[in-house]
Amino acid sequence: MILYMRLLKESFSFAINALRNNKLRTLLSLLGVTIGIFSIIAVLAAVDSLDKKIKDDLSSLDKNSIYLLKDSFGPTEVPDWKKEQFPNVTYEEYEYLSKSLNDLDAMCFQMFTKQENIKYEGKTVSSINVIPTTYELEDIQALSLKKGRFFNESESNSGTPLVILGHDIAQNLFESIEPIGKKVRLYGQTFTVIGVLKKKGASVFDEQDDTTAYIPSNFLRRLYGDNNEMVMPAILIKPVDGVDIEAFKGELKQKLRNHRGIKIGEIDNFFVNVLSGLTDMIDEIISLMDLVGIAIAFFSLLVGGFGIANIMFVSVKERTNLIGIQKSLGAKNRFILLQFLFEAIVLSLFGGIIGIFLVWIISLLLTHALDFEFALGFMNIIIGTGISVLIGIIAGIIPAYMASKLDPVEAIRSGM
């Protein structure tokens, strides 16, 4: 053990001397390793951060939650021209399904619509996301209220002009003023603010809680009717925990087919989008991004490996006389091999550490500049360090082997 520690110490010393005596050559050689490790760790950190953000954004919904609407969240064999002929889900179907479905935890009616401007006295917040919905949304989606409340069943059914504001909307409209009970203008109508959401931060999806306003869907149904092109209705369904999701989907499809009078042999004119299917698709995309990023970074690592090998070949050439003296004094081949191999690993680690450090600095800067957390995880640091060691071993093994096989007499003579 003491011998190996001495070997490591001497190899570290030789590596430092190589950096000190041949700064430009060593720097150019290590650049490939640095860029390669930087590329791989940057890709892994970015993809991990994106994956974490997506999971956090979807964490408010149960993975078995279902969006029932006329369109599909993912690829489908149904052509676009056919989907355009599908009818929208209706409020009446929401009422029917909520009373007839078994194993149902909660269900709400929701509408996707265009962005709007909201006003309070002389202030206006532009392009906010408006989500008209029924009162059950609070039971399905974990909305964190900073103050106030969500609208109740009676207010939802009557379409009372009430609004729950996202954090940024309330901040921009009211600043230090208490928002609860204030009157705002939306859709040319007066709404009473009854709730404000906690700040959530940027979302990878279009709908961001901080810039979203929730209103009763029946208000917008009265305003626009049920057949307005600016609105796409959806039914959000949450089954009870532990339900057989496939059996639940089958019952849901059959009840809606019967209600719509779809004949046997005809395709469904609606889509049952299970959230777990969306997350699985996202996981596949993220895995593909990982592979593409690593494949690109591999070529930088290849260049870096050649750079380390070049340093080690030159190092063997420059220290041939010293190798001969060591072997004549009894140094075994294994000692010489490990000495040069450790040196290659140390040099490669320098490049890897620099690459990881650059990723850490850039992740801090991006997290500070953007409303998005870039995280350099401990596992990514381990991966970067492991790859650096592997590059050092692969690049240094041949020069180290050549050094260990030198004849001591010839080595001393060649250095004279």
Give pLDDT tens digits for 380-411.
788 888 888 888 888 888 887 787 777 776 66
Cα separation, 71 vs 87, in Å, equals 10
Under 8 Å between Cβ of 19 and 308: no
Cα separation, 153 vs 161, in Å, equals 13
More reliable by pLDDT, 166 or 340? 166
More reliable by pLDDT, 110 or 143? 110
Residue 32 reports pLDDT greater than 50: yes
pLDDT > 90 in the chain, percent: 29
Q: Say which amino acid occupies 244.
A: D
pLDDT value of residue 201: 65
Torsion of CA 215, 179, 198, 217, to 10 degrees: 0
Ordered by start, the domain boundaries in the chain are: 2-57+281-414, 87-269
User: What does the pLDDT look like over 88-101, one tens digit per residue?
Assistant: 999 999 999 999 99
3-12: long-range contacts, CB 8 A cutoff, minimum separation 24: 3/335, 4/338, 7/335, 7/338, 7/339, 7/342, 8/342, 10/339, 11/338, 11/339, 11/340, 11/342, 11/343, 11/345, 11/346, 12/342, 12/343, 12/346
Residue 20 reports pLDDT greater than 90: no
Q: Tell me what the pLDDT averaged over the chain comes to.
A: 82
Helix spans in 150-225 (H) = 153-158, 167-174, 217-224
> What 8-state DSSP symbol labels residue 159?
T
Torsion of CA 280, 37, 345, 347, to 10 degrees: -170
* Average pLDDT value for residue range 286-290: 73
pLDDT value of residue 110: 94
User: What does the pLDDT look like over 302-344, one tens digit per residue?
Assistant: 777 777 787 777 777 777 777 777 777 776 777 777 777 777 7
Alpha-carbon torsion (309, 315, 320, 325), positive or negative: negative
Cα separation, 198 vs 143, in Å, equals 8
pLDDT value of residue 411: 64
More reliable by pLDDT, 2 or 361? 361
